[in-house]
Every structure is written in C-alpha cells, then in structure tokens.
Amino acid sequence: MDWRLICGLVALPFAIGFIALFYIYGRLWVEAYSCGAQVSLRELVGMSLRGVNPRTIVTAKIMGKQSGLEIDNQSGMSNARLEAHALAGGDVINVVLATIAAKYADLPLGFDRAMSIDLAGRDLVDSVRTTVLPKVIHCPDPSDSGQSSISGVSKDGIELFVRAWVTVRTNLDQLIGGATEKTIIARVGQGIISAIGSTESFKLVLETPSMISKKVLDRGLDANTSFAIVSIDIVNVSVGTNIGASLMIAQAEADMKTATAAAESRLAMAYAVEQEMTAKITQRRAELIQAEALVPHALAVAYQNGNFHFAQREPSYDNFPHLCDGTSIGA
C-alpha cells in the first residue's frame, strides 16, 4: 500500500475533527480575536467540556473590551473568573453590564464586588440603575399589605390615614447583607404612626404634613439597609373616626355595666336578708302560737291542783267620779 494513502487515511480523522471544531467554535474565536477579547480556541473547547456556555463568556469579554474594562487574563476580568462565576450560578452578563454602568457613572463598584453582589441574589443591574436614578417606594405597598394608607391616632384621639412616597437610592456599601425594601416600608410606616401619635392635635398634621416627614427622616431609618432614603413625601392625609371618644364611650359603658352588676349584687344580698328576716318572723309567730296553745293547759293544771286563786282587791272609785263623796256602793 502506498505510504501516501496510509498518511492520508491517518490524517483524515484529524482533518475532520479540526473542521468540525472550527465549524462549531470558529465563528466565536474569530469574533473574540477580531475584538481582542483574548479567548483561544482551546479555551472555547474547554468551556464546553466544563459545562459553560462559550457564547456567554465571549460576549462578556467583548462587552468588557469595548467598554474599556480590564479584561487581562492575569489580573483583570479573566476567562477563568468568568467561568467560575458562571459555574457558581451567577449571571455573567449582568455582572459585566453593571460594572460598565458603574464605570460610566463613576460609582465605586469593582468586578469582584459585582460578582459578590450577584451571587448574593441581588438584581445587580437594577441596583446600579437605582443608584443613578432613585426610585419611589409606596408606603404602604397595596400589592403587599393590601392596605392603601397608614392609620395613626393623635393625642386628641382623632384617627388619621396617611399615604407616603419614599424616594430611595441604592447604597452599594450595604448592598450585601443590607435589608430590603420591605424593611424600609415597615420602618417608615412605624415612624409615621409614632410621629402622628406625638402630635397634640390632628389639625397640626393637616396644616403641616411635612412635620411628619421631618420627624421620620430624623430617625435614620435607612441604617443597615441596602438603600439611602432621599426624601419622604406625604401624598395624602385624611381624617378618620374619633378614636378617643369611642374609647371613652366604651369605657363609660364598661363602668356602667360594672356598677349595674355591683348594684344587682347588693340588691340580691338585700333580698336574701329580707327573706331571712321574713323566715325569722314566721318562726317567731309559730313559737308564739305554740306558747299560746300551752296557756289553757297550764290554767287547767293549776286549777286542778288548787293553785289557781282569784286576787281580792279593794274597790276603786277612780272610775266612778259621781261616788267620790264617800257614799257606799250599797247606798
């Protein structure tokens, strides 16, 4: 057999393999090479073997290169770091987009911090956007709590319904480990209730709603949260019921019921004493009748035993004034 034929047969599989690899990864490699993205054909094959989408890595490198980010494989946004972030479940494209936006907005967000924030589960692009363009949070949030306003009661007992808008900006330094929007809403709602409760009259709140905003802002409610509160604006204030009067009425009704119960208790006690006295009177009458029944028997026994004597008394003239001259009765 001709040695040329043998060499051709041996080289044919390698040629087919090279053509297949170039067909699959050639376009990506050409794109990366033309943009200076520093991604080799061997690295593209290795990404597929490690379960990483090569298109994502090449796109991220091209975006970083075109935006002026450091994409050096030794110290910058290297291929290995991008692959590691993708294998950890992060969103490589979001990290690159956020880093580019932070660079142009002159924000202190490096690639390492961006990857950490992304792996923490935060929406990195939205966080950077909120840093540049503050967003408004409704307090309370009707979609979450089902309430459209916050209820507070002033010192004079009048209930007020307040709705506020909280303008916040992302605090990149507290984005990892900081509290979310729900904490801001809860703190602001608590501050509004406390501010209304410390007001002497509801009229003061209606006259100057900004006093609530000032009191709430002075509390530093954005501590240990992912946001910095820019402003708190009172959108609507409406008057509710007179809670103080309702409580006084309820207390009066309770006191009346207590007094009525005490009076009924004393009435029942008096009725019981009355019944006891009636029973004693009946008992004494029975004893009297019993004693009176013994009198005839005692008289009979005394008469039978000869112990019964009629008393001899001198005649008295007190009842006969016409005989007071000394004339005897017989005369």
Tell me, what's the pLDDT at 311? 55
DSSP 117-134: HHHTT--HHHHHHHHHS-
**Which tens digit of pLDDT belongs to each residue from 71-89?**
776 667 788 888 888 888 8
Tell me, what's the pLDDT at 74? 66
Tell me, what's the pLDDT at 328? 45
Tell me, what's the pLDDT at 269? 92
Domains of the chain: 3-132 (no CATH), 135-239 (3.30.479.30)
Please give the C-alpha separations between residue 117 and each of 63, 160, 224, 323, in angstroms, as whole numbers. Answer: 20, 40, 16, 139
Three-state secondary-structure class, residue 109: coil
Task: Count CB atoms within 10 A of the CB of residue 228.
Answer: 16
Per residue of the chain (331 residues), give pLDDT as tens.
555 555 555 555 655 555 556 656 777 777 777 777 778 778 887 888 888 888 888 888 888 888 787 777 666 778 888 888 888 888 888 888 888 888 887 887 778 888 888 888 888 888 888 888 888 888 888 887 778 888 888 888 888 899 999 998 888 878 777 788 888 888 888 888 888 888 888 888 888 888 888 888 888 888 888 888 888 888 888 888 888 788 888 888 999 999 999 999 999 999 999 999 999 999 888 888 888 888 888 878 777 777 766 555 555 555 555 544 554 444 4
- Match 């000032």 to its residue by tokens: 214
| Of residues 144, 242, 143, the one with CA closest to residue 202 | 242
Tell me, what's the pLDDT at 312? 55
The answer for 54, left when phi > 0, alpha when psi is -120 to 50, beta otherwise, is alpha
Q: What is the pTM of this model?
A: 0.62
